[in-house]
Structure formats: structure tokens, C-alpha cells
Amino acid sequence: MGNNQLEREYEEIRLKQTISLAEEQLKQAKEAAEKKKSQIIEVKKEVRENAAHGVTNLYTSDGFEALVELSQYMNPVIDKIVDYEEEEHKILLLENMTKSPYFARIDFKFDDEEEFEKIYIGRSSLRKNSYQEMYVYDWRSPIASIFYRFMKGEAFYDAPCGRVTGELKLKRQYEIKNGALKYFFDTDVQIVDEFLRQLLSQNTTAKMKAIVETIQQEQDAVIRDMENDLLMVQGVAGSGKTSIALHRAAYLMYQGLQTKLSANNIIIISPNAIFEQYISNVLPELGEDNVISVVFEDILNMLLKGRKIQSKNDFLEKIIAPSQYKKLYKDSIEFKTSKLFGEILDKFIYDIPCQWIEFDDVYYEGTCVVSRQTLQDKVLGRTETPLGIKLAQLEDYILELIFGTGKGRGHKAEKNLVKQEIQNFIKIDIFELYKILFSNESYFFSLLHNNNSSESIKEIREYTKENLEAGCIYYDDAIAMLYLYLKIYGTNEYKNIKQVVIDEAQDYYPLQYEIFGLLFPNAKFTILGDMKQTLAKKEDISFYEEIHKILNKKKSSLIVLDKSFRCTNEILNFSLKFIEQSPQIKSFNRKGDSPEVFIADNSEVFIDKIVEEVKSCQEKGLQSIGLICKTENNSICLFNKLKHKLDIQIIKNGSAAELQGVFIIPVYMSKGLEFDAVLICDADNQNYYDDDDKNLLYVACTRALHRLSLFCEKEVSPLLYATSKHTKPEQTE
């Protein structure tokens, strides 16, 4: 890209000045960090010397005072460590800035001024000093939004003081590596698209990377939204939903400088552990601490501790693998996570103190202190208080009746005996309670009011009863038990969370959104999904309205992203055949090879064709090659056949391997990921044959950036050649 010589010289000088300023501040930061490190060592030494006698006194009658004194000694150490960590963070940002201080420039004239101001935009800000000119603006700053949202002409941005208007004369982008200016170009729509097309043509990486240089206008609107309590994003495959989610988290932390929002106030709900690992570098690349990231299973295991729960992946294996019980498994989770079953659980919770807790008269020294009826009446009152809290308060009430309100040091043994006696009716075992619900047939169907006692529900009840009696907690039952637990006991585990980001939103069920509402009652939500990429269920865009009703937030918005940046035209068009009534998906118009289907007569030829295709991809320079199978069982079987022929790894439940080289992965674990080449390795009529399987094929195909191939042994899946109501993607330049 040719540059005017004078402009080139100006930009070289400006870059040199910027790096020089960054290096000067880096030197100062390192000196300050060393000084603070020395201070920490000195203060720790003083604490050891001055607090020695305090530690000794902890075990004397003056222990409380000694503990307070010890805390006072430790506070200065903690403060110094916090200061030191802030300086280290500053050093990291400045080190990155010396390598590539900015990626864009806009020339903008404010309406009340006559001169255009040159505004440079980078991943973090750089100021000459506390009061002088800003050398580089953070990409999240209000004025930087002009770069993402406008071409030349009238432009504006929204600042804390209100809307600021003016004129944009120049948009310029830079490629700067290791402090050297490689090239720059002034952008219009055609040049921007060509630049992005070149970037998209490159190979993917083992971990997702930040995309601040290429954020699109519609993506920027989602990232910067601060108006809505519930922001929902329906985005087609490859529209950048996950990148948007992470850049939004970084933006919220930037805004947190004013709103006191930090990394520990934001949580990302990820679909699986592989996905968590895949996205782990993005926020650090943006100069931010990683926010809390959890998989829904982590929450299940933490709050329902003490019992072994089936993993989500194991449940998905059962629900998508060919089986005579497949419909039962699918019906089971749809019923147990439905609004209807949530209402059944609510009625059950209401009935628990009336029917399912055996209150006893409480005796002390031969005298009835309080009757069972009084205890039950106390629990039945104050309906707004959770049952678990009311039961815990019963213990305090009984002990106060017997021993009074004093410390009662002399009654410790007697208190323990009374506590043991009343544990039978104040302590609830969620598992046993849930088992009662399914064991009592007449009571179970009375909660349905007999208007939905279909054969399917009867089968689900019997199947669940048998599992629970055997001590098995399947994934769908664990979801219902967690709802019971939260309604009965509540939790303060996530009381600090103010922003929740949920990715792959389409794969959660209504009861799970009820749970999210209970876990994060005071948080704002960003929910991103694609209703065409569901696993083992069908949803449409109306599901967002259901989510809105469940979470019940004051202000909400649904944004649709219909442009796909990941796949080539050929791959995207091939993938659309698996979508019924396909939405209008806009392709970024990147051309590539047409997908191919390979059919082998026997196992030996089948394996040879896969090996040949993998080697062909490697010769073409493709680096991440994903062999996708429908299930983990299929993946293991294929791995055993290929491990002596290729350098290959397998990704399965609990795996922590990085996504690089050649690997085999079940389709449900590939959600949200992308690979240079995708080989679907079990595209036969035994694995892919019904409507649910169409969604799986769509997910698998749209993981591919550059190349897609499908393999089957003997009979090919009829879905590959079935006609469907789909339209070719609209191509955009």
C-alpha cells in the first residue's frame, strides 16, 4: 500500500515520539515498582518484628485485642501490595505500547472549533502527563467510537456530558510491529473490506485473539451499549458473537472507572471448559484482568456438593447418539427444564412444610417446650422468607426458649443434644426431597392438575424414579435440584456480580434462566446466541422474548447480527442447506474451495481418504485441522484408527488440550470454536438422519474458515443431498 512520502515521514516521526514517551513512562514505572517492592519487604520485616508478641497473645485472654493489633500491622502490607500490582499492570501496558502504540487515527473537527484534531487510537491510552495532551486514546473511549461507526463526513459520539458533534475528515489504519511502521492506509468502505478480507484469509490461532482493529459498526453498538439491563444478541454463525462478548466485558471494565465495576463484578457463563481455555487470552491482550468464567456445571457441583452429578457432555452423548431411548432423554430434559415444571417445583416448595416435613414436639427435661403445630405455624407464616432460612431460624427460636438469650456457656452439651434432636425437621436434603416428588405418583400428578398427564410424562416420571432410587443424578435432574436449592436456601456466592455475559444462549432451557435470575438478581445481562445452532432441541427467535419475561429486566433490547465473517461463500452456502427456512445471512464474500463429500466402500479406504485430506490441508499451509465427529464414542473410535498414521490428539470430556495441529472433537464441544479446515468424519446415514441432526451438521460445517470436507463409510447421510428451503447468502462488499 503506497503512502505519500511527506505523510510517511510525518507518521514515522509521530510514531517515534509516541514510543519515546511510552519508553520514558515505562522507565519511570519500573523504578516506581522497584521502590514499592523494597517498601513491601521493609514493611513485612517490621510486621514480623512488631507482631511477634501479638501472635503469642492470640491464645491468651487478650486474644481478640491481639487479633485486632495483628490486623493493623497487616493492612499497610496489603495496601503496598495493591499499589505494586497496579504498577506492574501499568508496566505491561506500556511494554505493549512500545511495540505497537496505536492502530488507527481519525482527524475530527468539533463543531465549535476551526481546526481538525489528530486523534490516535490504541489498545490503551497514553497521556504526556496528567494534564497535557492525550497522545493515544483507548479504543473504548467515547471519541474512538467515531472510528468504528462513521466514514468521512458528519459524525458524533456520546460522552458523559452529552452528544458531541463534528466532522470526520480522515480515517487511517496502521500496521505497526515491534515499534516499526510497516504500512498505513486511509480507509473507505472498499479498502476496509479488502483489509478485513486479507485478515480473515489468514490461519486461525490456538486461542482467540482480540479484534479491536476490525470491530464492525453493528458490533461496536453492542459492545458500547450501556442503556439496557438485558441486551440480547441473535447472531448468525461467524458473526463474531464471542468476540463481541469479550470486548464488551473489557468495555464495561473501562466504564467501571466511573461506575466502580471491576473484573470480579463480571461473570461469563461458558458452554464448556475447552471454550473457556480458547477465550482465555483475549482480555489480557486488551490489558484487562480476566473476569470470572464458569461453566454451568461448575455452579451445579459447587451448590449441590457432596453428590456425583452427570456431566453435560455425558448427557449430550445420550441425547444425540442413535438410541432407542433418545426420545425419552430429550423429552425428559425439555419437561424438567420447562416453565411447567418450574411451576410444579414452586407448588412442591409451598407444600413442603405442610406435607413433607415431620415436625416434632420439642421436650427439655421432660417438659414440652414447643409443640409441633407451633413450629409448623411459624414456618408457614412470612411467605416472603425462603423456607431454608425459616427453618434455620426455628433452631434459634427453640434454643432461646430453652436457654434464654445469654451466652449460655454452661449449657454447651445440652444445646448440642437439643440441636441433634431438631435436625430431623430443620435440615433439608435436596436429593431426598426431589426423590419424594417423583416417588409419590398421585401427588406428582396432582401438581399437574391432571391436564398434562400424557404417556410421555408418565414415562419420564417412572424413568426418573428408578434413576433416583439407584442414586443417579442425571444432568437434567441436577438443574431442577439446583432450582429447588436456590428457592429454599438462596445463595450469596455471586452477590458481587453486576454484569453477566451468557454465550451460546440457545442451548439453555427456561428453568436455567430462572436459575440465572436467582443467582444474579441485581445484575445486568448480555445474552448472545444463534437459534439455528441449538443442540438436541428446536428454538426460534421467540425464545428471546421468553428469556426477557423470565429475567424481567426494566429495559431490554434484541439486536440481530446477520453478517457472517468466518466461512468462505462456498462453505456458508453449503451449510445453509441444513437450515429450515433459512434467515437472510449476509456473507462477507470471501471465496474459496467448494466443500467435498467423500464416500468410501470400506473402512480401510475410509481411513486412507481422511489421512490423505489431512496431509493435503497441511501442504496448503492450514494449521488447525479439526476432525469433527457426532459423539465422543465416534471420536475415540476414529482416534484409535488414526493415531498410528497421523500426529493427532483427541479432545473429549475433561480435556484441556490446546486447539492446534490436528485433533478430533465431538460436534457439541466445537460450539463457538473455529478451525482452518474441518473434516466431518462420520457423515453417514446411521449418524445424521433427523431434524436435530441438521442443526449438528450446520454447527460442524460453520466451524470451518477455509476448507470443509465430509467423509462417510458406505451409506451417506440423506441430509447432505436433501432439498431444503434455504437461500444463498447475500454477498456484501
629 pLDDT higher than 60: yes
- The pLDDT assigned to 725 comes to 41
Lowest mean pLDDT among 66-70, 122-126, 132-136: 66-70
Rounded Cα distance between 514 and 113, Å, is: 52
Q: Is 554 annotated as a binding residue?
A: no
Cβ proximity of 425 and 370 under 8 Å: no
Burial track 539-550 (b if 16+ CB lie within 10 A, e otherwise): beeebbeebbeb
- Over residues 240-245, the mean pLDDT reads 92
Confidence of residue 51 (pLDDT cuts 50, 70, 90): low
Q: Do the domains 225-352+428-561 and 569-722 sit in the same CATH topology, yes or no?
A: yes
- Over residues 482-494, the mean pLDDT reads 94
- The pLDDT assigned to 688 comes to 94
Please provide the CATH number assigned to the domain covering 569-722. Answer: 3.40.50.300
Cβ proximity of 543 and 700 under 8 Å: no
In tens, the pLDDT along 134-149 reads 999 999 999 999 999 9
In tens, the pLDDT along 676-701 reads 999 999 999 999 998 889 999 999 99
Q: Is 52 annotated as a binding residue?
A: no
Please compute, for residue 107, the number of CA atoms within 13 A of its CA located in the half-sphere on the CB side. Answer: 10
What's the distance, Cα to Cα, between the start and end of the chain in Å?
20
In tens, the pLDDT along 655-679 reads 656 778 999 999 999 998 999 999 9
- Write out the DSSP string of 316-330: HHHHHS--TTHHHHH
382 pLDDT higher than 90: no
723 pLDDT higher than 50: no
3-state class (DSSP) for residue 19? helix
Please provide the CATH number assigned to the domain covering 225-352+428-561. Answer: 3.40.50.300
Tell whether the torsion through CA atoms of 247, 253, 256 and 261 is positive or negative.
positive
Provide the grid cell at 305: 456438593
- The pLDDT assigned to 177 comes to 94
The percentage of residues in the chain with a pLDDT greater than 70, rounded to a whole number, is: 89
Tell whether the torsion through CA atoms of 404, 408, 412 and 413 is positive or negative.
negative
What mean pLDDT, rounded, does the chain reach? 88
Q: Is 162 annotated as a binding residue?
A: no
**Domain chopping of the chain, boundaries:** 1-99, 102-224, 225-352+428-561, 569-722
525 pLDDT higher than 80: yes
70 pLDDT higher than 70: no
Confidence of residue 65 (pLDDT cuts 50, 70, 90): low
User: Which range has the top average pLDDT, 355-359, 413-417, 628-632?
Assistant: 628-632
Confidence of residue 341 (pLDDT cuts 50, 70, 90): very high
Rounded Cα distance between 268 and 522, Å, is: 16
Q: Is 153 annotated as a binding residue?
A: no
- Over residues 178-195, the mean pLDDT reads 78
Provide the grid cell at 407: 451466652
Lowest mean pLDDT among 24-28, 91-95, 323-327, 519-523: 323-327
- The pLDDT assigned to 68 comes to 53
- The pLDDT assigned to 63 comes to 52
460 pLDDT higher than 80: yes
Q: Is 238 annotated as a binding residue?
A: yes
Q: Is 505 annotated as a binding residue?
A: no
Confidence of residue 504 (pLDDT cuts 50, 70, 90): very high
Q: Is 235 annotated as a binding residue?
A: yes
Confidence of residue 721 (pLDDT cuts 50, 70, 90): confident
Q: Is 406 annotated as a binding residue?
A: no
58 pLDDT higher than 90: no
- Over residues 233-260, the mean pLDDT reads 88
In tens, the pLDDT along 294-337 reads 999 999 999 998 889 999 999 999 999 888 899 999 999 999 99
Residue indicated by cell numbers 496502521? 174
User: Residue 459: which residues within 8 A CB-CB, separation 6 or more?
Assistant: 328, 331
- The pLDDT assigned to 190 comes to 55
Please compute, for residue 435, the number of CA atoms within 13 A of its CA located in the half-sphere on the CB side. Answer: 13
